[in-house]
Structure 1
Amino acid sequence: MTTKTMTVSQALVEFLAHQWTVDGDLRERTIPGIFGIFGHGNVAGVGQALKQLNVEQPDLMPYYQARNEQAMVHQSVGYARVHRRRGTFASAASVGPGAANMLTGAALATSNRLPALLLPSDTFATRVADPVLQQLEHPHDLGIQVTDAFRPVSRFFDRVERPEQLYSIALGAMRVLTDPVETGAVTIALPEDVQAERLEVPLEFLQDREWRIRRPRADRDAFAAAVQAIRGAKRPFIVAGGGVLYSSAEEQLREFVEVTGIAVGTSQAGGGVLAWDHPQYLGGIGATGTLAANRLAADADVIIGIGTRYSDFTTASRTAFQNADVTFVNINVASFDAYKHGTEVPVIADARETLVELITALEDYTVDSDYAQRIRADKSEWDSAVDAAFARSGLSLPGQPEIIGAVQAASAPKDVIVQAAGSLPGDLHKLWRVRDALGYHVEYAFSCMGYEIAGGIGVKRGLLAAGDDRDVIVMVGDGSYLMLNTELVTAVAEGIKVIFVLIQNHGYASIGHLSETVGSERFGTLYREYNADARNFQGDARLPIDLAANARSYGLDVVEIEPGPSAIDDLSAAVTAAKASDSSTFIHINSDPLIYAPDGAGWWDVPVPEVSTLPSTQQARESYEDLRLSQRPLLGKAKR
């Protein structure tokens, strides 16, 4: 057997450079690059391996800088979604705080079912220097380290404690990264001494290897049960999730609903499966959904879930589906999701493959004319509500819906909107008129404050890798911006063009509104100077922060929209100019956070204290108890 003398890190990096994902006729690099922030834990390991490859074969495994370890993973996730889970980046961090900084990113990747490879460094496996800098010490278990915290937030975790373990660990990690059911954060912990140890590596380990994405077809009996349930439906409704996009099934979904006339509502991850003006598309569903989608879902006798995990926002905390005799047909490649909430008809299969078969099996089925008319009427009513929300008000401080409308009007059909946390995900789910399958990127499985900028850069990086030069527009509130904004430096350093629109709310707009609804009166949600007498931050004196100046200090082109009756026109002009520019632009606009999007009749279960001395909380509890009456213990009806 021919071997090559290498360190563990050198072998791992070269191995990753030769991994390929195959999805039908598509073949692409599974790991096209590695982000890395170096410290004593990896500078002589993964860092040296990347340097050596950069000298010898610079195109084999490119290295990219990042400014924060969490943000490295966010970039990887943004890239992975654009590539429909066929590719992602590896992220290398040093011992201790560097590794711990990646934990939030790991949880986000796993929650979103999106692949990300994490390479956190670990302390000495030999313990020859014990304790080393940044090592945890637990008297009851000296083997526990920071990297052990990755176990519950990873879909795969292992630690290379001996050089020979690398082979099985690396192959196991790749299997999970490319598995549509298992994928998420994949963590390989690398002790700093083992990273630099010598290994005789078989050349077979370093050859090109292909990982084929599985697209399983439905079991015959399960498929027949699904067809029977749909054929018997009078008011069917489709809930489309991210699985439709990851399966590249949007064209099959369009054909299916055009054949049958069935209406569609989407989860946050499913945004883009149909264009906003398609006759069967009623927009988002659930807690942040549209009135049209939620009305149809409430009365539906058959719900067809396709590639959705049925989060509490999608089900409106189990209040969205009110028909006492509703039947659920859940099509999902993962049995874990297909069987959720007591479904009667689980179909464990790929979305695209199943839709292809459903088109043929139900080619003679269509909803009746009265139901089709109701779909048209509800859609038309909601479209008019969105038009009204987008209408120019002339207010000095426009509301968020009007701001969204201005950005929408200035964007191109294929542009990508990126968001993650705060009130924007809810407003975008209701209002953003998606015109392309990849045009809606809202991270809402983990809803991580701070994802937006790094994730948006990852999206743009992914598009560029695919030869796609469409614009990426990141909308972010001031709360999320302050959480994690340093990757703006990455955009400047690499010349990655992204348009950033910062909405200045002077506090946490989303949680402020939620705080009001649960009786806590926006406590702790305003950016105000501390009142020493009252011991709170609830006064009128706003903080003198200047986030536009902060962005300008990073080297971006900055446009500040002054409050006034022309603010919306100025915003539209700024977005138009930013699209024409070759470099990143940061647009700052002040808003009125008390102007809300039109109501979609969705609910989110946030428990209110049963006992309180605050009248506001007492009133909120009464409302909460009334709303809970519409919750269902299970989504699917019991067998009789």
Structure 2
Amino acid sequence: MEKIRLTMAQALLRFLDQQFIELDGTEHKFVHGVMGIFGHGNVTGLGEALEYGGTGLRYIQGNNEQGLVHAATAFAKQKNRLGIYACTSSIGPGATNMITGAAAATLNRIPVLLLPGDIFASRQPDPVLQQIETPWDYGVNANHAFKPVSRYWDCLERPEQLMTAGLNAMRVLTDPADTGAVTLCLPQDTQAEAYDYPTSFFEKRIWHLDRRPLHLRPLRNTVDLFRNAQRPLIIAGGGVHYSLATETLRKFANNFRIPVCETQAGKSAMSWNDEMSVGGVGVTGTSAANLLAKDADLILVVGSRLQDFTTSSKQGFAVNAKILHLNVSAFDGNKMDGIALQADAKSGLEALSSGLKKIGYKTSDAYANKISQLKSEWNTEVDRLYALKNDSGNVQTQILGTLNEFVAPEDVILCAAGSLPGDLHRLWRCELPKTYHLEYGYSCMGYEVAGALGAKLAWNEGEVYAIVGDGSYLMLHSEILTSLKEHIKINIVLLDNSGFQCIKNLQMAHGSVG
């Protein structure tokens, strides 16, 4: 067996550089680079490997570790999970700064690889600078805090452990049902320790995303349910994008005259002016979508985990409505006592389309007219809100209307927290897929500027506009400097309403005098 002597850090980068992912016959380079900030826990290991390793991985030095994880998450989200950046940090605060970003990635089912430095595996210099000591379990340190927010966690105390950990990391990162943050803790001595690795470990490896089909039994049962459905509704989640199923969904909806509403992650799956597109659903949704949802007798949920804002805390649907979950994840498929259709979104819609065509299914003219009327009424309301004026200052909906008119159809609007996600979900008019980028699962304040950096790294089709309130902006905006250093153009629209007014409004609505 041919072998090559490398440090563990050098081997890790060489391995990552040879990872590819394939979907529908198209091959994509999976790991595009590494973002990080160097300290004593990673500079002489991973830092040396990045400087002299000779890989094709790009290195981006950022200014805040949490911001870099947000940037990497936004990159993967905008890439439909077909490409990632890894993030490296020193031990101590550098590592724990990444935990919030890890939680956001895992909650949103977005792959991101985290490589925090760790204490010495040998334990001989203990306690090293920034090491947290745990009297009741000496093996526990700060990096164990990544466990609850990671889909896979490992600590590589020997260089040869990379060959197991690396494959497991890639298994999770490329799994559409189980992906999220993957954390490989790298003790600072192990990073620099050499080992004779088999050269086969560094050969090009392709991870195939084989679409999970919708099996015959659930397909038949679903067709039978549609046969008697008079007021069906589709809820499009982020899985529609990640499955590259937007065009399939559009054809499905129009062929059978079924209205489509969208979650925050699913928005832009349908063009706003499509006949069957009725906009956002739930607490931040449109009147058209919510009235149809409350009256629907059959709800097909495609690629959504149905968080409370989507379901209006489970009060937004009719009590007797049947809920079907077309989702590659079995965990999400059982929510709200629904019927699980465990399958890839695109292949599932295609199979269901064939089944409905065989029975000649189509909703009634009366239902189609109702959809059209509700949609028209809501469009009139959006026009009114976009034109609102106030002598005392700018109106947020008017700002959105002006921006919506200004940007090109291929430009991306990006946001995460405050009152803006609600107005964007209701009002923003998307024409093309992937032009609406909201982190509204964790709704992490501070995501916007860093997220714009990552999204722009992934998006060459148009501009990226981060729209952010002053409260969220002040929490984390240091990656503006990173965008300038790396010559990555982002556009930031900053709205100053003197801080945290969204929560103040909620507070006052529930009895506070302000």
Q: Distance in 2 between matches of 1:325 and 1:234?
A: 13
Distance apart, 1:396 and its partner CA: 4.7
2:35 is paired with a residue whose SS is: strand
Question: Residue in 1 aligned with 2:169?
Answer: 173
Q: Distance in 2 between matches of 1:171 and 1:97?
A: 28
Post-superposition Cα deviations, 1:170-227, rounded to whole Å, max 9, x if no partner, equal 0000010000001000000001111111110110011110011131001210111111
Question: Residue in 2 aligned with 1:497?
Answer: 489
Post-superposition Cα deviations, 1:102-156, rounded to whole Å, max 9, x if no partner, equal 0000000001000000000110111010100000011111211111000000001
> Is 2:347 aligned against 1:356?
no
1:170 partner letter = G
1:33 partner letter = G
Query: Out of 326, 330, 339, which is 1:335 matched to?
Result: 330
**Pairing of 1:100-139 with structure 2 (within 5 A):** 100-139=96-135
Q: Distance in 1 between matches of 2:453 and 2:108?
A: 18
2:154 is paired with a residue whose SS is: strand
> Is 2:514 aligned against 1:519?
no
Question: Residue in 2 aligned with 1:373?
Answer: 369
Q: Is the 8 A contact 2:388 2:395 kept in 1?
A: no
Q: Is the 8 A contact 1:255 1:359 kept in 2?
A: no
Q: Distance in 2 between matches of 1:333 and 1:214?
A: 11
Distance apart, 1:392 and its partner CA: 5.2
Distance apart, 1:341 and its partner CA: 1.5
Q: Is the 8 A contact 1:180 1:214 kept in 2?
A: no
Post-superposition Cα deviations, 1:265-294, rounded to whole Å, max 9, x if no partner, equal 110000011000111111000011111100
2:469 partner letter = G
Q: Distance in 2 between matches of 1:298 and 1:388?
A: 25
Q: Distance in 2 between matches of 1:517 and 1:249?
A: 40
1:98 is paired with a residue whose SS is: helix
Q: Is the 8 A contact 2:60 2:486 kept in 1?
A: no
Question: Residue in 2 aligned with 1:99?
Answer: 95
Q: Distance in 1 between matches of 2:187 and 2:212?
A: 38
> TM-score w.r.t. structure 1 length?
0.79
**Pairing of 1:41-52 with structure 2 (within 5 A):** 41-52=41-52
1:89 is paired with a residue whose SS is: strand
Question: Residue in 2 aligned with 1:612?
Answer: none
Percent same amino acid at aligned positions? 45
2:347 partner letter = E
1:350 partner letter = D
Post-superposition Cα deviations, 1:29-62, rounded to whole Å, max 9, x if no partner, equal 1111001211110011110100112xx45xx112
> TM-score w.r.t. structure 2 length?
0.98
Q: Distance in 1 between matches of 2:347 and 2:496?
A: 45
Question: Residue in 1 aligned with 2:253?
Answer: 257
1:475 partner letter = I
> Is 2:263 aligned against 1:271?
no
Across the aligned residues of Structure 1 and Structure 2, the Cα RMSD in angstroms comes to: 1.0
Q: Is the 8 A contact 1:167 1:205 kept in 2?
A: yes
**Unaligned ranges ≥5, structure 2:** none
1:362 is paired with a residue whose SS is: helix
Q: Is the 8 A contact 1:303 1:326 kept in 2?
A: yes
Question: Residue in 1 aligned with 2:401?
Answer: 405
Query: Out of 317, 321, 336, which is 1:326 matched to?
Result: 321
Q: Following superposition, which runs of at least 4 residues in structure 1 exceed 4 angstroms of deviation?
A: none
Relative to structure 1, is the Cα distance of residues 336 and 93 closer, same or farther in structure 2, using a 3 angstrom cutoff? Answer: same
Q: Is the 8 A contact 2:389 2:395 kept in 1?
A: no
Q: Which protein is bigger by CA-based radius of gyration?
A: 1
**Unaligned ranges ≥5, structure 1:** 523-640
2:185 is paired with a residue whose SS is: strand
Post-superposition Cα deviations, 1:352-409, rounded to whole Å, max 9, x if no partner, equal 0011112221122111111111111100000000000011526351211111001001
Q: Is the 8 A contact 1:160 1:189 kept in 2?
A: yes
**Higher mean C-alpha deviation, range 391-400 or range 434-443:** 391-400
Query: Out of 382, 385, 403, which is 2:381 matched to?
Result: 385
Query: Out of 133, 137, 141, which is 1:141 matched to?
Result: 137
Q: Is the 8 A contact 1:179 1:214 kept in 2?
A: no
Q: Is the 8 A contact 2:411 2:461 kept in 1?
A: no
> Is 2:466 aligned against 1:474?
yes
1:509 partner letter = Q
Q: Distance in 2 between matches of 1:166 and 1:469?
A: 37
